[in-house]
Structure 1
């Protein structure tokens, strides 16, 4: 209930109650328990040059990206039960992975990144000349970790802000333009210091360069960029045939 000043029989200044219509849909009560931070490994992917493609080509590239990403995860042993459902970002994908012994961050750096790079290279090699527009896929990938919130409408939080700022940084985009590789990886300083610099199996710290610097909520963050050239070893036997079978199932 509210009030308003009216003129009542020549008497100005008389306040009458004004009833407010509350019959419309009510907003859900904020569930504070859902706002508790949850630690997640954050992996996000963005397709280069998506805005220059026609909508039918975008649809095809999105479909292929999901297929290849799923193939790389599964081949590395990161099955759907180990990760949350993919979050679509239009021209990319967000993947959140809970802290599980079965999915150490090292597994995402190797072998997931080399597998994904090899799958992309194989796909692109068959589409150097394609009718209806360029259908090759080149991507930027970011790996970070931190506290993530979800209010029932979506995920948010400073950790995600940092990840997406690193992914969309001019330095990451330039690194992808300057390489012939289909993939450029950016890792946060947290990932570099806790994982990369220790040189776990398949991870070469000297291949990462601290190219990105940015500020989020008043804090400075650094991103280490790895060109996909060194990420993709020689394709294992049978990978080309498996990739072709994978892509031929798109209609299904």
Structure 2
């Protein structure tokens, strides 16, 4: 077979309200640069360098990262190190914006973590595992969750990640903070997603509920 499956941990992020009329093309370019920079730094915090992952795949208003199997980078690090660091960076960035710039340049992300077999050809990556991750990331329930919380990041993990990683409560992971609030259908099967709002980010946010809100949610 010319295209054998490759196992990867899957992380993808997507910007909230990237199509808002307030987001001009130059501002979109700025925000894309910030997302890549933050993701690089969060990867480093989790011990994931260029040798442990495939090149990032651009998704326009998001990024797909595929992490190769490595005993030095267990999947737990994605949840206990990478996601908290990414959330912290988002808080710092948003708090550093002048209040009148937050509607245009505020940055909030949805994220998904999954794992499975993928394929790669001359055009990029594909496979059912990626379909599951992308459907979970784009689920309306996850978008509504981000709209309803002050934190600048919400995470959804697949059923596989919940059952093999989260529920065991490995160091830095609190199962009680994950909730089965997302369901999508892929390849004729119902897939469950477990939603998590990083508490580390919530602790850094002032009590002003408008700190990261104020954009037109109809242009999500």
TM, length-normalised to structure 2: 0.88
Q: Which residue of 2 aligns with 1:169?
A: 139
> Structure 2: where are the runs of 5+ without partners?
205-220
Match of 1:172, SS?
A: helix
Q: Which residue of 1 aligns with 2:201?
A: 232
Contact 1:175–1:227 (CA under 8 A) maintained in structure 2: no
Larger Rg: 1
> Structure 1: where are the runs of 5+ without partners?
1-31, 236-252
Q: Which residue of 1 aligns with 2:10?
A: 42
Looking at structure 1, the residues matched to 144 and 98 of structure 2 have their Cα atoms a distance apart, in angstroms, of 22
Distance 1:205 1:133, change over 3 A: closer
TM, length-normalised to structure 1: 0.77
Looking at structure 2, the residues matched to 85 and 165 of structure 1 have their Cα atoms a distance apart, in angstroms, of 22
1:51 aligns with 2:23: no
Contact 2:91–2:152 (CA under 8 A) maintained in structure 1: yes
1:66 aligns with 2:36: yes
Q: Which residue of 2 aligns with 1:181?
A: 151
Aligned counterpart for 1:216 among listed residues 186, 190, 193: 186
Q: Which residue of 2 aligns with 1:196?
A: 166
Q: Which residue of 2 aligns with 1:93?
A: 63
Looking at structure 2, the residues matched to 132 and 181 of structure 1 have their Cα atoms a distance apart, in angstroms, of 14
Distance 1:95 1:132, change over 3 A: closer
Q: For residues 137-176 of structure 1, what are the structure 2 equivalents within 5 Å?
A: 137-176=107-146
Q: Which residue of 2 aligns with 1:206?
A: 176
Displacement after TM superposition at 1:231 (Å) = 4.1
Displacement after TM superposition at 1:232 (Å) = 2.9
Give a deviation string over 1:27-70, Cα, whole Å, max 9, x none.
xxxxx42x211111000000000011111110000001101111
Looking at structure 1, the residues matched to 55 and 129 of structure 2 have their Cα atoms a distance apart, in angstroms, of 18
1:119 aligns with 2:102: no
Q: Which residue of 1 aligns with 2:75?
A: 105
Displacement after TM superposition at 1:75 (Å) = 2.3
Displacement after TM superposition at 1:95 (Å) = 0.2
Displacement after TM superposition at 1:76 (Å) = 2.4
Looking at structure 2, the residues matched to 54 and 233 of structure 1 have their Cα atoms a distance apart, in angstroms, of 29
- The structure 1 segments of at least 4 consecutive aligned residues displaced by more than 4 Å after TM superposition are 130-133
User: Which structure is richer in relative contact order (CA contacts within 8 A, separation 6 or more)?
Assistant: 2
- In the alignment of these two chains, the number of paired residues is 202
Contact 2:181–2:194 (CA under 8 A) maintained in structure 1: yes
